[in-house]
Amino acid sequence: MTEPYMLISDAPPLEDYLRLRRESGLSPKTPEQGAGAIAGSWSACHIVDTAGTVVAMGRTIGDGGWYFHIVDIATNPAHQRRGLGRQVMEWLIADVLERAPAGAYVSLIGDPPGQRLYRSLGFNDVTPSLGMAMRSA
């Protein structure tokens, strides 16, 4: 990690998690949703600047056996294009490879802004499969 940033191997505080989601263009979440997300993480990391402000983050959710899903990759727009998203992704991937049993399946949903990064890290389209979602009311 290059100055003026430091990677911390833990989820950011709830307020920072919610703020960074909004700032980076991810869908806003309530404190209740955010607290559950952080508590349900298999692993997480975040990056702070010299002032201690959280400027990037990511999490992995998983069953600890074979299935792991990378989520919440977010970087504050003022800090983008400095390799922070790559640092977060590399840390999350290394954590799965180090702690998960051999044969782990690591997935993510690659929104257009991150697809080039994800492909450069070895992620591929899952065609003919199709990502699907359902939201509760």
* 73, 114 Cβ separation under 8 angstroms: yes
Q: What is the mean pLDDT of residues 17-33?
A: 96
Task: Tell me the domain boundaries of the chain.
Answer: 6-120
132 pLDDT higher than 70: yes
Q: How far is CA 65 from each of CA 101, 102, 107, rounded to the nearest angstrom?
A: 6, 9, 14
The pTM (predicted TM-score) of the whole model is 0.93
Residue showing tokens 């199709």: 130
The architecture in CATH of the region 6-120 reads 3-Layer(aba) Sandwich (3.40)
Task: List pLDDT tens digits, range 30-85.
Answer: 999 999 999 999 999 999 999 999 999 999 999 999 999 999 999 999 999 999 99
In this predicted structure, what is the pLDDT of residue 1? 59
What amino acid is encoded at 35 in this protein?
A
Would you state the torsion angle of the CA atoms of residues 56, 58, 89, 53, taken in this order, to the nearest 10 degrees? 20
What confidence score (pLDDT) does residue 3 get?
A: 75
**Residue appearing with tokens 């997300």:** 37
